[in-house]
Each structure stands twice: as structure tokens, then as C-alpha cells.
Amino acid sequence: MSLHSELGVQKDNTLTNAQNAVFMNNYLEALTLVERLHRLLLDVIKDEFERLGIIEVNPVQALLLFNVGTNEVTAGELKSRGYYQGSNVSYNLKKLVTLDYMHHNRCMVDRRAVRVSLTEKGRRIHEIVAKLFERHSQGLQDRGVVSLDGMEHITASLRRIERYWGDQIRYIY
């Protein structure tokens, strides 16, 4: 190997190391932004509900009602379908049933499973959140915050990261 080719290899490694450092910094910033965006989303929902005088449903529960929509699901499906990201799903379900935002019925096939769906009261919360998201979608476009292409790119990138992380979890064991 000549001296010239050895310098080229060193230069490529240095460039690769610098690119890896930049990638790592951007990756960590993206993780922070995703976490911050989730918290801000909950704050935005909380502010909307306070403005409307809705106090018996918290933002996490409102998102759960929004995500369930017209579906009828089991508690396990809430997590597997991505409708609920928290750890205390049974507490929130019990509270939403008690406050008459959700119906719950024993599954006819497996009596251990409980299926849940929205009541009329729950559908009203779903609609409030849906309208909030529609306003935000329109506002993001109208103000040029992000274009349709940009949103598609962000969504596709986040799906690939989600798939990568899911694969990491599956292949650990």
C-alpha cells in the first residue's frame, strides 16, 4: 500500500467519523424533539379543553378517545394498535367507563377479554380533538411551516425508525 493510498484511507475514516458524530447529534436531537412534541401535544389538548371548560378528561384520555374513534377494541389492542402509549391503560379505561365516555362489554368468544368503544359523550371528545387537529393541519400549511412533501418525508422517516426500533426489540431475545 502506498503512502498516498494510506492517507486517502485515513481521510475517509476521518470523514466517516465526522459524519457519524453529526448523525449521532442529529439522532439525539430528533429523539428529544419527538419527546418534546408529545408533551407539547398534550399541553395543546389541555389548553383546548380548558378553553372549552372540559375538566373531567385529561389530555392522555382525550388522545385515547380520539384514537379509538369508531373502533371497538380490547385493552391489549389499544397498545398493539398504537392507540395508547402509556403504562396505566387499565386506570384510564376504568375512569373513562365510569365517566361514561366509553362502553365496555365482555367479549363473547373470550370472556376474560373486555371490548371497549366510545359512547356519545366519548364521540364528542373525539370530535373536539379531530377539529383541533384539522385546525393545526390547516395552520401548518397556511403558514408554510411544513409542506405536504415535507410532512410525507417526516412521516416516512419516523415510520422507518419505528420499524427499526421494533426490529431491535424483537431480535434481542
pLDDT digits (tens, 9 = 90+) for 87-135: 678 888 889 999 999 998 877 777 677 888 999 999 999 999 999 999 9
**pLDDT class of 157 with cuts at 50, 70, 90:** very high
Q: Does residue 79 lie in a domain region?
A: yes
Asked if 95 and 155 count as a contact pair (C-beta separation under 8 A), the reply is: no
Residue type, 126: H
Number of domains in the chain: 1
**Residue 154 located in a structural domain:** no
Q: What is the pLDDT, as a whole number, of residue 15?
A: 65
For position 84, which CATH number holds? 1.10.10.10
- The tens digit of pLDDT for each residue in 4-35 reads 545 554 556 676 888 999 999 999 999 999 99
Main-chain phi, psi angles of 116, to 5 degrees: -125, 150
Query: Is 29 among the domain residues?
Result: yes
In a domain, 153, yes or no: no
Q: Which long-range contacts link 71-78 to residues 24+ away (Cβ below 8 Å)?
A: 71/117, 72/115, 72/116, 72/117, 73/115, 73/116, 73/117, 74/107, 74/113, 74/114, 74/115, 74/116, 75/113, 75/114, 75/116, 76/113, 78/116
**Cα end-to-end distance, the chain, whole Å:** 43
| pTM for the model | 0.82
- For residue 41, pLDDT over 60 is answered with yes
Measure the CA–CA gap between 2 and 8, rounded to whole angstroms: 10
What is the per-residue pLDDT for 115? 85
In a domain, 155, yes or no: no
Which structural domain, as residue segments, surrounds residue 13? 3-142
